[in-house]
Amino acid sequence: MATQICPACNKDSFTWTHDEDRTTPTTWGCECGYSAREDESFERVCVICNIKTESRLEDDDKIYWWCCSCNTTTLITRVPKWRFPTGDAIQELAAEFEYPFDINRQDWEYIVPTIDDIEKYFTKYATTNSEDIRFLLMIMMLETSNSGVDLKWIKNIWPRVMVLLKEDFQLHEYTMFYYCCWDNEDINDAFFVTPYIREFWGKQ
């Protein structure tokens, strides 16, 4: 199999594998130990080579375009460290806001938030010392943007949320990354807040 120039070590030993039924993404690997996953639904024309030679690769740190012809790479975004809400934080907020709580329930933070309680979320956010609670509350606040309140949300809520995101940028990095939907080229398939968060993220 033909080898390519490895984006990590620049040696001519970068090569790909994928399973027969293509249930897992194509994986690129090099003898230097570097590996990356390719999302084959994306391809673009390289501005240097002027042919469709750029693939979208993702490793543990970043998502980037890579041209297999001229070996140019273009960073799309860094991948922040994964963070998730803790069970304790969910339990505390479920009790405080009188929301249903089931320890086995996945996606609690995406299901229970309601725009009617948004002021309670802001108040709690401002008065807690717990990072876990603020982390969870931020997801809940952002989730309220999906409840059909559209441009009013952007006008009234988003500026207040942005202030909190700036203050606690590192704490919310993974959440912003999630709402940016970088694995989704078509912004219309993403969340309502996605274009606003992408713009905010780009400015930081």
Taking the least distance from each CB to Zn ion, the nearer of 6 and 140 is 6
Cβ atoms within 10 Å of 29's Cβ, excluding its own: 15
User: Least distance in Å: CB of 143 to Zn ion?
Assistant: 40
Site residues (CB under 5 A) for Zn ion, limited to 47-76:
48-49, 67, 69-70
Single-letter amino acid, residue 169:
F
Burial state string for 108-142 with b = 16 or more CB within 10 A and e = fewer than 16: bbeebbebebbeebbebbeeeeeebbbbbbbbbbb
Residue 30 touching Zn ion (CB under 5 A): yes
Q: 68 CB contacts (<8 Å, ≥6 apart)?
A: 4, 53, 54, 55
Question: Which token pair is 41?
Answer: 């639904």
Residue 36 touching Zn ion (CB under 5 A): no
Residue 196 touching Zn ion (CB under 5 A): no
User: Least distance in Å: CB of 48 to Zn ion?
Assistant: 4
Residue 8 touching Zn ion (CB under 5 A): yes
Q: Give dist(CA 137, CA 90) in Å, integer.
A: 9
Identify the residue among 5, 34, 39, 201 touching Zn ion (CB under 5 A): 34
User: Least distance in Å: CB of 11 to Zn ion?
Assistant: 5
Site residues (CB under 5 A) for Zn ion, limited to 76-95:
none
Are the C-beta atoms of 140 and 113 separated by less than 8 Å?
Answer: yes
Are the C-beta atoms of 193 and 180 separated by less than 8 Å?
Answer: no
Residue 6 touching Zn ion (CB under 5 A): yes
Taking the least distance from each CB to Zn ion, the nearer of 14 and 177 is 14
Task: Return the H-helix or E-strand segment holding 66.
Answer: strand 62-67
Taking the least distance from each CB to Zn ion, the nearer of 55 and 144 is 55
Taking the least distance from each CB to Zn ion, the nearer of 55 and 145 is 55
User: Least distance in Å: CB of 78 to Zn ion?
Assistant: 20
Angle at 35 between CA 31 and CA 38, to 5 degrees: 135
Residues that bind Zn ion (CB under 5 A): 6, 8-9, 30, 32, 34, 46, 48-49, 67, 69-70
